Chains A and B, each alone.
Chain A
Amino acid sequence: MNTPRSLLLPLRAFLLAVVLSGGLLRADSPRLADCSSSELLPQTVVAFAEASHIAQAIETLLDHPLRQRIESLPAYDEVAKSGSLEQFQLGVTAFEASMGKPWQEAIKTLTDGGVTVAADSSSQGIAILIKSSDVDMLQRLRGFLLALRQMGQGKLSAVEQGDYRGFTAYALSKELKLAILDHWLLITNKSDLGKSIIDQYLDRKNESLHSSETFSIARNERDAQASDPAFVSAYVDVATIRSSGAAKALSNEKIDNPVVEVLLGGVLANLRNTSFVTAALQADITGVQLKLSSPHKRDWEPPREYFFGETQHAAAPSLLEVEDRLFAISAHRDLSQMWLRSGDLLSDKANDGIAKADTQLSTFFSGRDFGEDILGALESDVQIVGKAQDFSEVLPRPAIKLPAFALQFQMKTPDETTSELRRVFQSFIGFLNVVGAMNGQPQLDLGMETLGDAKLVTATYVPSRDQRDSMDAPINFNFSPSIAFAGKRIIFSSTTQLARELVSEPEVSDSGNVVSERATRNTDILFNANTLKQVLDDNQSQLVANNMLEKGHDKQAAEAEIGLLLELVGMFKDATFQLDVSDDELLLDVRLHVDGE
């Protein structure tokens, strides 16, 4: 490091030339070989992702039991035979030939120092940094990439190159440049970004991404949280992106889509204020997990108290449990407030829609104001559940078998609301019958039943005489809309059976019992892939018919394709989505589990 640079430069250039010409000497530099990639990147980097255990990830993937299951599928053979994989395999062979090793080993060595991708705001460029202990392998990789480029062009032309401070940059394409800085391989689409990285590599000034304040806060938080080392960890400087005006969605206070607002309005509000987001991706034999977290302040919440909770953060109720559960969603949402405040939350266009819907819904609900009277009668605990329906002993049996689903709320004043909504429900069914009659739809028969302390109002489709034993009845017969009242609970269900199942569950007592883990849980979503497979299985003939129509396949080909789809779905177990909000942090946890057996 003390050698005057003026002397060093030509020497390095010489050594490099020797290496490039297939020389035996190796540029063995003591300089920043062991620094981290964040120390090489400028402070203006706004997005940074680092993958540090690629070899391990590949191993997990290759050793995964699912791999054998996929390879044993008949369809896999067909794909392999069809030549669709040919080009891929050709690429792998070429890669292995260039590296002189099997590809797994080559990648393992190539990436043993990690791979970093960064986006820089000042140069509007992207940089990829690969760090390897084996410089020879990096050079082989360079040779491979340059050869690929020439193949792509279809002619053997000289590779454009240029020198900067003793390092040579090669053009991979019109925009992409590649350079090797000892143990680092650098690819970027902006020369300025490349130069600044080389400058930093040589000069090692104090100003780097590493020394940036938000980045170090973010890194510390990530390190504090991570139980296992993440496969990929990432950091996004939201504040800078926001101020540059690059992402419009981040600066728009109001959004167009009410469903997105209800699901993610709070998350978007956070992104409009927070300084950064960190992400960690982990993978093991059971599946993958993505954790996103970002600093949070209560000041950022208005006007979305409906989402976060009025005076304090409110927790989502637990997920509803039913047999053959397909999905469950629980969240804290004050829907009445959301509906009435939609002017503050949604765009003018969306509000026009809400106003029209308000008129329609108030008509459905016999003149009761939808936002104030209907939604307003409910607490902010939203629980939704869906389940696969079992029709094996039911007639008429619908040809298309849909899942059943239900919404559960807590009533503010059960005595008042029960009788009120029971009446509303009855006239709603009457309304459906009138409309249905005009369109030749079957009619609904109202019924009442008592189950323990619970009262149900049910509506059942009446089959016509020739439909009673039908095995391919119309889609209506998936539904028996019902409303159930049990203590404080009110349940709107698409089927009577599901309503019964839910009321027979004991009532969960008030928030005093909320498990501590759930105290910060704002939104909780679970999706069960096994049940999804069951639902698809039940509808196989429909799926096959649709495949025949949409692809013009004959029956055999259609059955094979749907069979494959079902196999693939069967490889997943479930997916979860959890949003936690505390006074200083917002944490999003998404997991996808596969069936490892």
Chain B
Amino acid sequence: MDRMKPLDPQWAWQTFAPSNERPWNRALAAHLYRRAGFGASVEMLDEAVSREPAEMVRQLMAQNFEANEFRETADQLAQTILASGDAKKLSAAWVYRLLLTPTQLLEKATLFWHGHFATSAEKVNDAHMMWDQNRLLRQHALGSFPVLVQSIAQDPAMLIYLDSAINRKAHPNENFARELMELFCLGEGNYSERDVQELARCFTGWEVKNKAFRKNRYQHDTESKSILGSSGDYDGEDGVRVVLKQPFLELFLARKWYRFFISDEPEPSDELLQPLANVFREHDLQIAPALEMLLSSNLFFSEHAIGRKIKSPVELVVGTLRGLSGTANTQVVSSGLLQVGQGLFYPPNVKGWDGGRAWIDSSTLLGRANLIGKILDDDVTRFSGQKLTDYLGDRGITTALEAIEYFEQCLFALPLDDSTKSRLSDTFSVTAAEPERQLRSLLHACSSLPQYQLG
């Protein structure tokens, strides 16, 4: 795997400055939108190109809360859906947000945290709790990591998912304590079994009653605990604070961000990640400064990042639609996502989605193609409210080849070679008889190509 020659960490994290060799263009702007969000129309790309890359990143970062109007609509939608009590439908309400939110980075970060603090409705079995957790993740997605962790530690859905709804001092439940260190903050090997047992004692008395978090003071172990080298008569919040102080934390998260925002493989070295980790720590574990550095870096805009990730199902489907200002039946999208391995509110286990090559097997590859095919086959699917023919027609595109080149700009991370293009346009030529169907078939074919699975 380690064929990549070591990268210079200093170069890697410097702010990217466009040059003649690497100009700031539609391709780089599309890359930024794909990773810091889900995708953008050609018009949005042109708007981005008219600014500096760093300015664009700052603008994305500044959208760390949703505009009132959209938030109200989307929240109200979710609330209405909750009346039916069905978490599967709630997942459709999230798809609605993913497709239409003006604050893409916030939504992408929310999705990241959903995978990080993985909680599945399959087990929690309560749509309200899942929705509350989702709001919590969105609220802190680009905020303070310590606040996020403290809130998650008292989140009913999380506690139920980790079998920690009851936690008596006679039988401290180690599950949450273990995952807090292993999966949420430090990574395996950076704590001992003894730390798990001691930390678990901090959370005794924390329980979920009537679907709400509460502290049962009669069940809290008030004795002194000794965790990761420090000791005191800690309660749960103190325990979290001790974990957050550990120096492994910033590197652990930097690595996860690298895999989520930059590249699936090869595995980055600690040296490479250290500057990013340092910024995270220096800013008191505020998320935004670290992500801003990551997204405006040389490394992010380099060939080590572009096309170096396998798109998750959400990135694939939402990206395809957003690239063409598309809207679709969100229930078809959400149930399809579940089928190909990324059900929103249904991560496979406590570790969340592994990502990378794990997205792909013989069933998901066909499933991805079939899902996009199903969405495009649906007359409800519209592009800026129009048929695809009219959407492209308004942009002066009528032939298959023109359409392929248009898709290449707003959808593909890597350029298509000429032979692929000509095979595509030969197979899916656009004739007068059924232009809409043919254009949609062409888009379906493009999005089924192996190279399109790279983002």
Contact = CB atoms under 8 A, between A and B. Distances in A.
Interface of A: 398-400, 439-440, 464-466, 472, 474-475, 541-542, 544-545, 548-555, 557
A255 to B, nearest CB: 32
A475 B127 CA distance: 13
B327 A475 contact: no
Contact of B83 (A399, A548, A550): A399
B360 interface: no
B68 interface: no
B330 interface: yes
B77 A549 contact: yes
A472 B89 contact: no
A474 B85 contact: yes
Nearest to B385: A557
A200 B179 CA distance: 89
Interface string B73-108: 100110111111100010011001001100000000
Contact of B80 (A398, A440, A465, A541): A541
Query: Interface size for chain B: under 10, 10 to 19, 20 to 34, or 35 or more residues?
Result: 20 to 34
A118 B41 CA distance: 56
Interface in B55-82: 73, 76-77, 79-82
Contacts of B77: 545, 548-549
A398 B73 CA distance: 21
A552 B99 contact: yes
A549 B100 contact: no
B210 interface: yes
Contact of B327 (A439, A474, A552): A552
B330 A550 contact: yes
A554 B102 CA distance: 13
Interface of B: 73, 76-77, 79-85, 89, 92-93, 96, 99-100, 125-126, 210, 326-331, 380-382, 385
A542 B330 CA distance: 15
A552 B83 contact: no
A549 B85 contact: no
B80 A399 contact: yes
A542 B385 CA distance: 22
Nearest to A552: B327
A554 B89 contact: no
A96 B99 CA distance: 47
9 contacts: A399-B80, A475-B84, A475-B85, A545-B81, A549-B92, A549-B329, A552-B328, A552-B330, A555-B73
Contacts of B327: 551-553
A531 B326 CA distance: 37
Contacts of B81: 545, 549
Given A545-B80, A550-B330, A440 B96 contact: no
Given A474-B83, A542-B80, A550 B380 contact: yes
A37 to B, nearest CB: 38
B331 A542 contact: no
Given A399-B83, A440-B125, A472-B79, A552 B210 contact: no
A549 B83 contact: no
Nearest to B80: A545
Contacts of B92: 549
Given A440-B126, A555-B73, A400 B96 contact: no
A541 B82 CA distance: 12
A552 B380 contact: yes
Given A550-B329, A550-B380, A542 B83 contact: yes
Given A398-B83, A472-B83, A475-B84, A549 B89 contact: yes
A549 B96 contact: yes
Contacts of B210: 464-466
Contacts of A472: 79-80, 82-83
Contacts of A464: 210
4 closest pairs, A vs B, by CB? A399-B83, A552-B327, A545-B80, A549-B330
A390 B21 CA distance: 70
Contacts of B82: 399, 472
Contacts of A554: 73, 100
A552 B382 contact: yes
A476 to B, nearest CB: 9
Contacts of B89: 549
Q: Which of A472, A474, A542, A551 has the most CB of B within 10 A?
A: A551
A400 B329 contact: no
A399 to B, nearest CB: 3
A252 B81 CA distance: 44
